Amino acid sequence: MYIRILVPLDGSRLSEQVIPYVLPMAEKLKAHVQLFRVIGPVDPSLADPAHGRFLDQISTSMRNQAEDSLGIIRSAFTEAGI
């Protein structure tokens, strides 16, 4: 039937409310779960080179934060054997 479940997340608590529903569904279907999060481009107005805030640093920070968040969610699936 289904072999893969794609879970789009945006970093909000609201989007993460789907996780308790995906876990048992993935277990029953023996499906692989892919967590997906898009990070939009950084608005140049956030950068302030005079104070050491550069676009690439802000972008890297946002990506690291997203990866940490996904890592926490991934651990719930790993603990469930998915």
Spell out the per-residue pLDDT of the chain, length 82, in tens. Answer: 789 999 999 989 999 999 999 999 999 999 999 999 988 888 887 777 776 678 888 888 889 999 999 999 999 999 988 8
C-beta separation of 64 from 70 below 8 A: no
Tokens of 4: 């893969």
Tokens of 62: 């946002």
3-state helix, strand, coil in the chain (%, to 5): 55, 15, 25
Domain residue spans in the chain?
4-79
pTM value is: 0.77
What CATH class does 4-79 carry? alpha beta
Amino acid letter, residue 19 = I
pLDDT at 52: 62
pLDDT at 30: 92
pLDDT at 2: 80
